[in-house]
Amino acid sequence: MTDRNRNKLPNNLPQLQNLIKRDPGSYKDEFLQQYRHYESNLQIFQLKPSQYSKTLDELIMFLAQISQCYSAELSEFPQQLKELLQRHSTVLDPTMRLCLVKALILLRNKNLMAATSVLELFFQLFRCQDKVLRKTLYSYIVNDIKNVNSKHKNVKLNKTLQNFMYTMLRDSNAVAAKMSLDVMIELYRRNVWNDAKTVNVITTACFSKVAKILVAAVKFFLGKDTRDDDDSDDEKPEKSAKELQLGHRVGKKTKKRQKKLSRALQFLKKHKKKKSKPEVFSFSALHLIHDPQDFCEKLFKKLESCNERFEVKLLLIDFISRLIGIHQLVLFNFYPYIKRFLQPHQREVTRLLLFAAQASHELVPPDILEEVMMTIANNFITERNSSDVMAVGLNAIREMCSRCPLAMSEDLLRDLVQYKSHRIKSVMMAARSLISTFRQTNPEMLHKKDRGRPTEATKDFTLLKYGEKNTKDFIPGTECLPDQQEEVKEDKKDNWDSCSDDDSSDGEWIDVHHSSDEDEVKTADNVPSDPTEQKVKAQEVSASRILTQDDFKKIQQHQAAKEVDLKPSHKRKHVETEEHNESGELPNLSAIENVHKKKLHDRESRMATIMEGRKGREKFAHGRQKMNPNASTTNKQKTRNKPFMMVKQKMKSKGKRSFRDKQIALRNSLLKRAKAGRK
pLDDT band, residue 299 (cuts 50/70/90): very high
Higher per-residue pLDDT: 439 or 396: 396
Q: For residues 302 and 317, is the Cβ–Cβ distance under 8 A?
A: no
Residues 331 and 324 sit within 8 Å (Cβ to Cβ): yes
Confidence (pLDDT) at 545: 78
pLDDT at 619: 61
**Averaged over 391-414, what is the pLDDT?**
90
Q: Please report the pLDDT score of residue 276 as a whole number.
A: 53
Segment 283-294 mean pLDDT:
88
**Identity of the amino acid at 34:** Q
Over the Cα atoms of the chain, what is R_g?
Answer: 40
CB atoms under 10 Å from CB of 233, counted, come to 8
User: Residue 518 — pLDDT band, cuts 50, 70, 90?
Assistant: very low
CB 538 within 8 A of CB 476: yes
Angle ∠(87,91,97) on CA atoms, nearest 5: 80
CA dist 384 and 388 (Å) reads: 12
Contact 474, 542 (CB under 8 A): yes
Query: What's the pLDDT band for 268 if we cut at 50, 70, 90?
Result: confident
Upper half-sphere CA count for residue 89 (Cβ side, 13 Å): 19
Confidence of residue 220 (pLDDT cuts 50, 70, 90): very high
pLDDT of residue 496: 55
Q: For 520, phi and psi rounded to 5 degrees?
A: -80, -20
Residue type, 535: K
Query: How confident is the model at residue 324, as a pLDDT?
Result: 94
- Give me the residues paired with residue 455 across strands: 565
**H-type alpha helices, 169-207:** 174-189, 196-204
- Note the pLDDT of residue 572: 44
Measured CA to CA in angstroms, residue 284 lies from 222, 280, 356, 610 at distances of 11, 11, 22, 55
pLDDT value for 374:
93
Q: Report CA 543 to chain centroid distance, whole Å.
A: 40
DSSP assignment of 245-290: HHHHHSS---HHHHHHHHHHHHHHHHHHHHHTPPP---HHHHHT-S
Q: How many helices (H) and strands (E) does the chain have?
A: 31, 0
Average pLDDT over every residue of 172-190: 90
Over residues 449-478, the mean pLDDT reads: 72
pLDDT in tens, 520-547: 334 445 666 666 777 777 777 777 778 8
- How confident is the model over 327-383, as pLDDT tens digits? 999 999 999 999 999 999 999 999 999 999 999 998 999 999 999 999 999 999 998
Average pLDDT value over all residues in the chain: 80
What is the arithmetic mean of pLDDT over 640-656?
77
- Judge whether 97 and 128 are in contact, CB under 8 Å: yes
Between 600 and 431, whose confidence is greater?
431
Q: Which residue has the higher pLDDT, 199 or 646?
A: 199
- Rounded CA separation 173/126 (Å): 9
Mean of the pLDDT values across residues 418-434?
90
pLDDT band with cut points at 50, 70 and 90 for residue 167: confident
Q: What does the alpha-carbon distance between residue 598 and residue 605 come to, in Å, rounded to a whole number?
A: 14
Least confident of 448-457, 467-476, 505-514: 505-514
Amino acid occupying residue 198: T
What letter represents residue 17's amino acid? Q
Calpha distance 463→428 (Å, rounded)? 27
| 3-state SS class at 455 | strand
pLDDT value at residue 638: 84
How many residues does this entry show for the chain?
679
What pLDDT does 658 receive? 85
Q: Mean of the pLDDT values across residues 389-393?
A: 93
Question: From CA 74, how far away is CA 58, in angstroms rounded?
Answer: 16
Characterize 4-40 residue by residue with b for buried, 16 or more Cβ atoms within 10 angstroms of its Cβ, and e for exposed. Answer: eeeeeeeeebeebbebbeeeeeebeeebeebbeebee
526 against 284, higher pLDDT: 284
**pLDDT over 90 at 668, yes or no:** yes
